Structure 1
Amino acid sequence: MQPIISVNDLTKTYAGGFQALQNINLDIHRGEIFALLGPNGAGKTTLISIICGIVNASSGTVLADGHDIRRDFRAARSKIGLVPQELTTDMFETVWATVNFSRGLFGKPADKALVERILRDLSLWDKRHERIMALSGGMKRRVMIAKALSHEPAILFLDEPTAGVDVELRRDMWEMVRRLRENGVTIILTTHYIEEAEEMADRIGVINKGRIVLVEDKHVLMQQLGKKQLTLHLQQPLAAIPSALAGLPLTLSVDGSELVYTFDTQSEQTGIATLLRRLGEQGIDFLDLKTSQSSLEEIFVSLVHDSRAAQEAH
């Protein structure tokens, strides 16, 4: 299946010489939720701005639903909805007026039923006659999403959509995003809340210093790069790990009350049986044990750290 967004050899160098993007190649599948992660200044917003036609690339090509964003820019932009980080709308307009106006900007005929459905889905229907300046920050964010959806785009970019909103509103937005995906809309999400990507995304892309570090299915990524740990709460604290256990991937807590065994999730042989046998041979008893796995946040931090180290080495 042809990707709904295809980015090829994309670069962006600003007039001052700063290279914001370097040879970006990225395909985004139709109907997926794709999370683009990266630290501040990594190039996330620049990449989105180029795809949406706000910033011009220095070189490379971008296709949006088969339309070149330069040669066929009107058709390409009609396929895209963007919810930017900043709240940029006319604060003196009513919710109803600004959403209808946004639809008209794309040459779409008035459709009261559609706009009503969007406002109801975003819990804005009761606010439709209120001026935007009177709304809370979370409601203003919902208005921005309504504006982006008003022309029925096939692709929706959410650039830090839940920044500064409360937990309840954030979860409401997650549900809204899932409903959009069920209706065939492709979602590209940037976020600093790693739990959002872990909760919602089908695939994860990591960008750092203008380069794509990795693109992978979320579950495959967590399985391949995540590590599992077995924590044993000891019956008696240890002063140090016995020499007979020195060859095992063990760490001892500061107070000596816990042994932590790290093992590879991909290996068929975890080594846990061997560990427990050797603990018994050493007379080390434990009261309890638990297992845990690396979170997406830990994997992300590790990837960014490794990427920085590699770039500095070159």
Structure 2
Amino acid sequence: MQAIEVHGLRKSYKDLHVLRGVDLAVPAGSIYALLGSNGAGKTTLVQIISTLLSADAGQVRVNGFDTAAQPRQVRESLSLTGQFAAIDGVHTGRENLILLARLRRDPDPERAADALLERFDLTEAGARRPSTYSGGMRRRLDLAMGLVGGAPLVLLDEPTTGLDPQSRIQMWNIIRELAASGTTVLLTTQYLDEAEQLADRIAILHDGTIIQEGTLADLRKLLPPATIEHVLKEPTLEDIFLTFVGSAGAPEGA
């Protein structure tokens, strides 16, 4: 079963052709990474899938619903976390979650909020305004808000951009947990190692089209066979940083 099916998708802004006939199929329950440089069209594609933009041509189906003919059903069946945290700075972290749970008609908004705060290691910070949070904490709260209601499909548009190494690893673990629970994750990223670590399948979006798609093993087969070389591997700066500070995730006050 496909959670997302995209056929012949096109989108232009006057003479700027952003998407030039994109075809994509995201299997249900998988982590699917969409790779591309700045301006490749990743965010535009995500916005069309989530019904925030309309396509000029082509068809998109999300969890069996057509984005053009059934936008309400599409929105009810997914959650979207964009590049910038969409958090109300006036309310506390817990109040943000309770408000969204009420909008999603959760029968017990307080319980739902507390469960998500615990899941994202934000329980102690829940009584504070997000303006006092670190960047990693705000990003985790933003993702927690996206999970209110338990949508079967989660769209993550460059979720780790700007995060420190600890917060990035913690976000990776959360994404893995989502997939393990049966949630489909469509992830856009510029980080090749992120796609390599997380994705079941990878698509490379370039100049408005998908130029390659498949598993990591599939993509590796497109290159010449590897050669064996004996080299001295020095630890990277990230290796050094994580050795000294740990990789379990930054403390809430960081």
User: Which TM-score band (shorter chain)?
Assistant: 0.7 to 0.9
Deviations 1:162-194 (CA, angstroms, capped at 9, x unpaired): 111111111111111111111110111111221
Q: d(CA) in 2 for partners of 1:58 and 1:108?
A: 36
Q: d(CA) in 1 for partners of 2:211 and 2:16?
A: 19
Equivalent residue of 2:2, what SS? Answer: coil
Q: d(CA) in 2 for partners of 1:58 and 1:17?
A: 13
TM-score normalised per structure 1: 0.70
Deviation at 1:35, TM superposition (A): 0.6
The unaligned stretches of length 5 or more in structure 2 are 234-254
Deviations 1:217-248 (CA, angstroms, capped at 9, x unpaired): 112212442641233xxxxxxxxxxxxxxxxx
Aligned counterpart, 1:222: 220
Deviations 1:264-313 (CA, angstroms, capped at 9, x unpaired): xxxxxxxxxxxxxxxxxxxxxxxxx4699xxxxxxxxxxxxxxxxxxxxx
How large is the Cα RMSD of the aligned pairs?
Answer: 1.8
TM-score normalised per structure 2: 0.86
Structure 1 counterpart of 2:86, from 85, 88, 113: 88
The letter for the 2-side match of 1:189 is L
Q: How does 1:126-165 map to 2 (within 5 A)?
A: 126-165=124-163
Inter-CA distance 7–178: structure 2 relative to 1 (3 Å threshold): same
Aligned counterpart, 2:240: none
Aligned counterpart, 1:43: 41
Q: How does 1:99-138 map to 2 (within 5 A)?
A: 99-138=97-136
Q: d(CA) in 1 for partners of 2:9 and 2:167?
A: 35
Aligned counterpart, 1:6: 5
Q: d(CA) in 2 for partners of 1:113 and 1:93?
A: 17
Q: d(CA) in 1 for partners of 2:50 and 2:108?
A: 24
Q: Is the 8 A contact 1:156 1:185 kept in 2?
A: yes
Inter-CA distance 226–191: structure 2 relative to 1 (3 Å threshold): farther
Percentage of matched positions with identical amino acids: 33
Structure 2 counterpart of 1:181, from 167, 179, 182: 179
The letter for the 1-side match of 2:10 is T
Q: d(CA) in 2 for partners of 1:159 and 1:226?
A: 32
The letter for the 1-side match of 2:160 is T
Q: d(CA) in 2 for partners of 1:197 and 1:214?
A: 14
The letter for the 1-side match of 2:194 is E
The unaligned stretches of length 5 or more in structure 1 are 232-288, 293-314
Q: Is the 8 A contact 2:79 2:147 kept in 1?
A: yes
Higher RCO (CA 8 Å, separation ≥ 6 residues): 2
Aligned counterpart, 1:307: none
